[in-house]
Amino acid sequence: MFNLHIAQNEKEEDEERRRRDDEARMARDSHSRRVIQVVAHICRPTRSKNLDRSRQQRGEELLDDYFVHNSAFPDTYFRHRFRMERHLFNKIMIAVCNHDSYFAQKKDACGAMGLLLEQKITAALRMLAYGAAADQVDEIARMGKSTILESLIRFCRAIEFIYTAEYLRKPTHMDLERLLKKAEMRGFPGMIGSIDCMH
């Protein structure tokens, strides 16, 4: 009976010692974790604050300038600035949006409406038409550099996928004849056989 009581006490002492060791180890781990977090926070490069580009306001202004009925700039300005007619722009825009949902306007994580389809397509086309840098397009479309480049890459992929079969193929014999006839009508009868002259 006495030995049983001693064994019971030793067992309780072992459990108490184990509990104190576990608490001490957890405290050390917790302290080490806090030190690592503080050091990581100090060493982490600071991220620049996001700019408020007033993207929704600029999107509405872009629509008012070029895309709505009775827009601020007439069709001749649109043709000059976008290097295509408005109806062709709209056709391409709808095809690209149907191909890649990235271009559709969506809400962001905060619930704010994102960029308009017209802003993304305009950014991509301005870079292609004028060889503009992303910073220059930012002033027009009010988009960040990474978003502009993403729009450009996705736009080019969509155009390649949608129009390769019809427009981006090698010219056939009939295409060459048609182009030669058109060139002759325009006053270039000597354009024979040169594929460079056909494009």
User: pLDDT at position 90, please?
Assistant: 92
Residue 139, pLDDT > 90, answer: no
Name the class of domain 55-163: mainly alpha
Q: Residues with Cβ < 8 Å from 84, sequence gap 6 or more?
A: 92
Residue 80, pLDDT > 70, answer: yes
User: pLDDT at position 8, please?
Assistant: 73
Per-residue pLDDT band at 7 (split at 50, 70, 90)? low
Q: For 85-107, write each residue's pLDDT tens digit.
A: 999 999 999 999 999 989 888 88
User: pLDDT at position 57, please?
Assistant: 79
Could you tell me which of 72, 76, 95 has the C-alpha nearest to residue 84?
76
- Domain positions in the chain: 1-47, 55-163
Task: Give the residue-averaged pLDDT of 117-122.
Answer: 90
Q: What is the pTM of this model?
A: 0.60
Task: Give the residue-averaged pLDDT of 43-47.
Answer: 54
Residue type for 26, please? M
Burial class (CB in 10 A: 0-12, 13-18, 19+), 198: middle
Q: For 17-44, write each residue's pLDDT tens digit.
A: 888 877 777 766 666 666 566 555 555 5
Mean pLDDT, all residues of the chain: 79
